[in-house]
Homo-oligomer: A and B are copies of this chain.
Amino acid sequence: MENNKLHIISTGKQKPELLADIVGRIHPYIDCIHLREKTKTAKEIYKMVELLIDQQVPLSKIVINDRADVAYVSNAKGVQLAYHSLPVEIVKRKFSNLTVGCSVHSIEEAQMAEQQGADYLIFGHVYSTQSKPGLRPKGIDQLRSVSESVSIPVIAIGGIMPANIKDVIKAGTQGVAIMSGILEAKDPFETVQQYRSYLSS
């Protein structure tokens, strides 16, 4: 299970300096930090990447949400696309050096993203989460169905705690993506190690 991935997704609410400080401390335990900053401008996200680099976070762990241009000019590892983003197949073809992840919410979306060449999927939200109030969670069964419907890695997102990581991995996923669970934890450094140990056991 050593290969299970731990992705961290920025909350969109933390100050760039605070986020960079936290990620600078926890990055040895994570595989990816996604800058998902929907209200920030391209210039602001570009500067956030610089802050992460200043904190010794490797570019090979940095993924930019939606903005392929910011990912490309920053030499980040990749871009995370969603329904509202540029089509996966076009981004794959035109930005061939970027790893392209795709956020999906159904088997149909998952299969289409795989056909279009996505390198991996993020599926959720699996459990109830304060980030998606009032939206019914997909649950473990649907997570399993999605994982079985594609051959590319599926990362689970949404309300995942250390205690339920085992169930998530058993459902056929290759890892988990965590937002506030780690970034807003009292002690992110201790918490990331908890998640990591559950992923590896």
Cβ A41 vs Cβ B85 within 8 A: yes
Cβ A90 vs Cβ B73 within 8 A: yes
Segment with Cβ contacts to B, from A63-71, A107-115, A161-169: A63-71
Once bound together, how far apart are the Cα atoms of A73 and B90, in whole Å?
Answer: 7
Residue total for A at the interface (Cβ-Cβ under 8 A): 21
CB of A44 within 8 Å of the partner chain: yes
CB of A72 within 8 Å of the partner chain: yes
Q: Is the interface of A mostly helix, strand, loop or mixed?
A: helix
Most buried by B among A41, A69, A70, A87: A69
In the complex with contacts A68-B69, A69-B68, A72-B69, A46-B84 CB distance below 8 A: no
Q: How many copies does the complex hold?
A: 2
Residue of B nearest to A70 (CB): B86
* Residues of chain B contacted by A69 (CB below 8 angstroms): 67-69, 72, 86, 91, 95
Cβ A42 vs Cβ B94 within 8 A: no
Once bound together, how far apart are the Cα atoms of A41 and B84, in whole Å?
Answer: 6
CB of A43 within 8 Å of the partner chain: yes
Can you list 29 A-B pairs, Cβ within 8 angstroms, ordered by A? A41-B84, A41-B85, A42-B66, A42-B67, A42-B84, A42-B85, A42-B86, A43-B83, A43-B84, A43-B85, A43-B86, A43-B87, A44-B84, A46-B86, A46-B87, A46-B90, A67-B69, A68-B73, A69-B69, A69-B72, A69-B86, A69-B91, A69-B95, A70-B86, A72-B94, A73-B86, A73-B90, A73-B91, A73-B94
Point out residues on A near B: beta carbons under 8 Å.
Answer: 41-44, 46, 66-70, 72-73, 83-87, 90-91, 94-95
